[in-house]
Amino acid sequence: MAPTPKIALTIAGSDPSGGAGIQADLKTFSALAVYGAAAITSLTAQNTREVRAIHDAPCEFVAHELDCVFEDLDVAATKIGMLSSSALIRTVAQRLRAHGARNVVVDPVMVAKSGAKLLADEAVAALRSELVPLASVLTPNLPEAAVLLESDEASVLREPERACERLLALGARAVVLKGGHAGGASSDDLWFDGQSFIRLSAVRTSSRNTHGTGCTFSAAIAALLARGESPLAAVEGAKRYVSAAIAGSADWKLGHGHGPVHHFHALWNDEERA
C-alpha cells in the first residue's frame, strides 16, 4: 500500500497557457512526489508572449478557498505567488495566520516574463508588512528585491549580501536572492538565514524557455519543505530541479515567446513522445 503523500498548497494566479502560476506549481508538486492543492487568487489571460488581462477573485472567495483547504487537509507547506492587490495580500496573510500555516514560501511576484505588471504599486507596502514576515523562505529576483528595499537593481547587484540582510530584517526567516537577471555564464543565487551566506551556482542554459521559472523554483522549495527537508536543503534541491527543467526544455518550441520549462524532465521518456 502506498504511503499517504505530503501536501503542499499554492496560493497564486492561473496561467491558461500552463507555464506559470498554479499550473506550474501543481506540475512541480507532482514531479517532486507531493500532493498539490491550489487556491486561485487571480485569473489571467496570458500566453508565452503577453499578459492580456487580469481578473482578481473576490477576497471573500479567496478566504473561503483557504479555509476549505486548511480545515480539511494537513498542509505541510504553502507557496504564495501572484497576489495583485493589497486587499488580496491582507486577506491571505490573515487566513495563513489564523490557520498557523507552516513552511511558507513567499515568491514576491511583481512582473511577468513578458514584462506585464502583476502587482499594483499600492500593494508593495502590504506585501512588505503583511506577507514577508510570514515567510520561512523569501525568493525575490533582483528587480523584486530592489522594489521591496526601495532601492535600485544596480545597488542590489553591487552589494547582494547587504540586500539579503535588509530583506531578512523585514521579517523573513531566510532569503534566497535569485541571480537569473544578472546575466553571465552562470546563474548564481545567494542564500542568507541570518547566520551564513551561501552562494548557489548553476551553469546557465541558453534557452528561450524560461516562462514560469520563478513560480517553479518557489513551488519546488515548498514541495521539498513539505517532504521534511531543511530550508537550505530544499532551496538547493529546488535549484537543481529548475536547472534540469530549463535544460530539459531547451529544444522545445511551445508557443512563440518565452516557452515553459520541462517540469517532468525526470519522468517522461521523450523518445516515446516524439
pLDDT tens, residue by residue, 33-86 = 999 999 999 999 999 999 999 999 999 999 999 999 999 999 999 999 999 899
Catalytic residue of the set 44, 215, 237, 259: 215
Q: Which domain holds residue 109?
A: 7-273
Pick from 217, 205, 235: which is nearest to 31 by CA? 217
| Residue 124 forms part of a structural domain | yes
Q: Residues for the chain: how many in total?
A: 274
Asked whether residue 58 is domain-assigned, the answer is: yes
In a domain, 167, yes or no: yes
CATH number for the domain spanning 31: value is: 3.40.1190.20
The answer to whether position 1 is within a domain reads: no
Task: Catalytic residue, from 179, 212, 248, 259: name it.
Answer: 212
CB-CB neighbours of 142 under 10 Å: 19
Higher pLDDT, 127 or 118: 127
> Active-site residue 68, yes or no?
no
The three cell numbers of residue 8 are 503542499
Q: Which amino acid is at 227?
A: R
152/165 Cα distance (integer angstroms)? 16
Distance CA 91, CA 249 (A): 36
Question: 103: left (phi > 0), else alpha (psi -120 to 50), else beta?
Answer: left
pLDDT above 60 (res 206):
yes
Q: How many helices (H) and strands (E) does the chain have?
A: 9, 9
Count the domains in the chain: 1
- The pLDDT tens digits for 122-144 are 788 999 999 999 999 999 999 89
Q: How confident is the model at residue 265 (pLDDT cuts 50, 70, 90)?
A: very high
Q: Catalytic pick from 27, 113, 178, 239?
A: 178
Q: What is the pLDDT of residues 134-171, one digit of tens each?
A: 999 999 999 899 999 999 989 999 999 999 999 999 99
H or E segment and range at residue 38: strand 35-46
In a domain, 223, yes or no: yes
Residues linked to residue 260 through DSSP beta bridges, in sequence order:
211
Angle between helical axes of 59-72 and 86-98 (0-180°, round to 10): 20
**Active-site hit among 59, 213, 239, 248:** 213
178: annotated active-site residue: yes
pLDDT of residue 113: 58
